[in-house]
Amino acid sequence: MSLHFTKMIRLGDNGTLGNKTCDNGISMHLFLHCSLVPAFFIFAVLSYLQRRVNHLAIDEKISILKGRFGIVVPLDFIGSLSNRWSYGFAFGAVSSSVMLLFSREYLPFNVPTWARAVVHLVGALEVGLAYYPFFACLSSPVREAGAVLGFIYSLMWLIVSTWNTISCPAGKVLGSFQKPILQWPSIFCLTFLLGRFVHMLLKAIRIRMGLDAHEETEQLFQTYQAKYVQTLLRRPPQGEIKNWIQRNIYDWDPYFRFPNRMIGTSIISLIGLYMITLADHSLSSYVFDELDKLRDSLAELVSSCSQLENQFAALSPQLVEFSHVARKTWFATTFFAAFTSVTYTFHILSCYRKHLKRLWAGQKGFLPERFHNPSSAISVAAITRYSGWQIAFTLWGYIIVHFVQFLFALLFVYGVVLPIQHGHGLKVLINFGIVLGAIVLIIGLVIIQIILVQIFFLQDKISSTDSQKPLAINNRKGFHNFNYFFFFYNVIMGLSNCVARLLMSAIVGTWLVSRIDRTVMPRGYEPLDPGYNTWIGMIFADHYHSNPVMICFCHLVLAERLEKQTRALSPYPPFNSSLIASSSRARRRWLLLYTLVKNPKLILHRKHQPSSCQDTAARAWMLASQVRASEENLRTANSTPDRQAAEEPCHCDVEGANVDEAMT
């Protein structure tokens, strides 16, 4: 299938239809190699315009440098959230060449088997360098140069790709419109990038002319992160009504943004699924046609031998039926496999948001215990691996899931559909009843054992408010007899459950092979799943670099530091500095008191003077009871006119001494 898929999507092939050869004089493989020259030129120009933060000794020797030739960053895989969809479409333009990395035909020469790993590495580096200008021009701080160079490079790729697609559209696999069907996502992404660079150029020109304000650089603390922190300081809304889409499909969160890495990976995965589905469809048609030709050739060969003719005549209808059923079943499951893989792509995004928000809240219970504190090096390296592994898992997962669905559909057709069509519906119904009866009997006996234990062999509830009986055995002699007689039946039932357990494990593991956010290993063996390890490391790295609360804290610390530096550089002393210091101290004490009143459990974690733990616990209990009493009083006084004054404690004039007395 790899060779067939390569022949189908390779950019350098000249399309053929029948005996007619299409030659437009363009070799996309050769163009990919030649594009390295302008790519390196663009890289050199952007590096020259990029100024380094730290000057080197060579800058003093060579005056023309002046801190130039800085490191060009194509895109930020961790914290940057600007131009996310532009980067996503840049990944979409790369998708056609990324698909070629699954083959061995992106180099113009053959290599021995032992050197294939080196060939794949060279091919990946070549594709990365060829498409480097798309990302570098989008992220360049010199907007004019980045827009002009990106526009020229995108236009070059768009013209060559469009001309190669229009002038030679035919192919042996998909017919007269093979290249347009395969290449339209890449051409669409190139067109979007072209328009994006035009918009960047016009925006830069308007800024240069003073018609628009200067674009602010991406700051540490984003607006949506500030709103997320504000929601944590408010009470959650009560009785919020969600529609059907929010409850069952997707609940949009305005305070969360997916990084460039996740958007680009999803776009390449979807385009890759589109291409591999077309390749799967064409390959299966070719294979089934060849099987039909082989069957006809075998029939002609057998017809020449009178001894085998009667036997083949009896076998021929079965072969024809199998070919027809297999063809229809494979094509039907193609849709379901593709739909499963597409839903997985979007579901992984939903799981990424859910897992990250749980980590932000300090919840690690959904992870295996040994993954609660992953290695820092493994987490950072996981960011590098994730995108490539997710794309590969998605494509290979489609193939594996399709094959498994095909086998189950084939068993269903031969076990249910065909016998009913041949007039054996009653026999199918009887067999189905026998299997269903055995399953119901096994499940029923398990349920009966639980009910008997619940009624006869557990002691009564200690309190009427308990949800269940305590784990204490009653009627021990009867329980021992009950256990003895069910022992022999449970041995027989355990055999069927063992087989069912193995089948269910294989089915679920195969079904989730493309779900990198879930492990296919049993509990305790999760470290043997490299995909799951990559997922855990990636979400932990994003958690530590994009936690809104941590970023908010860093923002406040930096802002206060900058304010102190500004006051220190000011030639005028602040007005009544002693009053400011005392009010600041009182404000901090008031905020501390307010926090402890709202969170009494924090008292146990504070540093106290040497005293007994019982006194500390007693003070915490007393304060918690006071808080509950005050909250009940506030609920009863909601209709009073002084409710607003009671809910604004920050406006009260509280002295430091009074705060100390209240806290003690």
Question: What pLDDT score does 663 carry?
Answer: 40
CA distances to 142, 145, 152, 230 from 47, rounded to whole Å, are: 10, 11, 18, 40
Percent of the chain with pLDDT over 70: 73
Residue 283 in this model has a pLDDT that exceeds 70: yes
**Confidence category of residue 3, pLDDT binned at 50, 70, 90:** very low
Rounded CA-CA distance 152/350 in Å is 37
Taking the alpha carbons at both ends of the chain, their separation in whole angstroms is 76
Cβ contact 150:138 at 8 Å: yes
Per-residue b or e along 233-247, where b marks 16 or more CB atoms closer than 10 Å to that residue's CB:
eeeeeeeeeeeeeee
Let me know how long the chain is: 664
Residues 224-281: tens digit of each pLDDT: 788 888 888 777 666 667 777 777 777 777 888 888 888 888 888 898 898 888 888 8
Task: Report residue 522 as tokens.
Answer: 């049993």
Residues 160-182: tens digit of each pLDDT: 888 888 887 776 656 677 778 88
Q: Is the dihedral of CA 246, 247, 251, 255 positive or negative?
A: positive
Stronger pLDDT, 24 or 361, i.e. the higher one: 361
Rounded CA-CA distance 444/462 in Å is 29
pTM of the model as a whole: 0.73
Cβ contact 452:485 at 8 Å: no
DSSP state of 427: H
Beta bridge partner(s), residue 473: 458
**Three-class secondary structure assignment of 233-293:** HCCCCCCCCCCHHHHHCCCCCCCCCCCHHHHHHHHHHHHHHHHHHHHHHHHHHHHHHHHHH
Task: Report residue 119 as tokens.
Answer: 């060939």
Residue 17 in this model has a pLDDT that exceeds 50: no
**Confidence category of residue 553, pLDDT binned at 50, 70, 90:** confident
Per-residue b or e along 455-478, where b marks 16 or more CB atoms closer than 10 Å to that residue's CB:
eebbeeeeeeeeeebeeeeeeeee
**Confidence category of residue 303, pLDDT binned at 50, 70, 90:** low
Rounded CA-CA distance 548/222 in Å is 9
Question: What pLDDT score does 109 carry?
Answer: 58
3-state DSSP assignment of residue 72: coil
User: What is the chain's mean pLDDT, rounded?
Assistant: 77
Stronger pLDDT, 96 or 480, i.e. the higher one: 480
Residue 151 in this model has a pLDDT that exceeds 70: yes
Rounded CA-CA distance 498/500 in Å is 5
Residues 587-626: tens digit of each pLDDT: 788 888 888 877 777 777 776 555 555 565 566 666 666 6
Cβ contact 590:597 at 8 Å: no
Residue 651 in this model has a pLDDT that exceeds 60: no
Residues 410-465: tens digit of each pLDDT: 998 888 888 888 888 788 888 888 888 888 888 888 888 888 888 888 888 888 88
Question: What pLDDT score does 2 carry?
Answer: 46
Beta bridge partner(s), residue 21: 16
Beta strands in 82-185 (DSSP E): none
Q: What is the mean pLDDT of residues 569-576?
A: 56
**Confidence category of residue 342, pLDDT binned at 50, 70, 90:** very high
Cβ contact 49:228 at 8 Å: no
Rounded CA-CA distance 67/59 in Å is 6
